[in-house]
Amino acid sequence: MRLIVYESSNLYKYKMKPYHDKKLLKKSFQPGHQVLVFNSRLKLFPGKLKSKWSGPFTIKEVKPYGVVELMDPSSDDPKRSWVVKDQRLKLYHGGNIERLTTILNLQDP
């Protein structure tokens, strides 16, 4: 019985993979575009209101195999840049990024 279930699940995966792959969109980045970077380390700290996207950053260079070199436009040092995988990026379309800040004033009782 287990063997039949195993074969059935493999057949389902085999048939569904082309369907899911057809829905994927190819990202294309060019030097000068502004992007947001996904920060995966925030998954360690639970919280609905924390933004997992940081940026915007400017693309300095697009390298082969999905590697993108970024630079921070607000930084004073133009040489400061770093390399990330394009899977962690999404295009930034402009506008302000809202950051939630809470200020609590504590008083002695």
90-109 average pLDDT score: 76
Question: Residue 11 falls within a domain, yes or no?
Answer: no
Give the pLDDT score at 4. 81
Question: Residue 6 falls within a domain, yes or no?
Answer: no
Question: Residue 97 falls within a domain, yes or no?
Answer: yes
* Total number of domains in the chain: 1
* Domain region containing 97: 28-109
Q: Report the CATH number at residue 41.
A: 2.30.30.140
Query: pLDDT digit string (tens) for 43-91?
Result: 666 666 667 788 789 999 999 988 999 998 877 776 788 899 988 999 9
Contact assessment for residue 70 and residue 59, using Cβ atoms and an 8 Å cutoff: yes
Give the pLDDT score at 49. 64
**pLDDT > 70? residue 97:** no
CB atoms within 10 A of CB 51: 14
Question: Residue 64 falls within a domain, yes or no?
Answer: yes
Question: Residue 91 falls within a domain, yes or no?
Answer: yes
Phi, psi (degrees; rounded to nearest 5) at 51: -80, 130
Give the pLDDT score at 75. 75
Question: Residue 8 falls within a domain, yes or no?
Answer: no
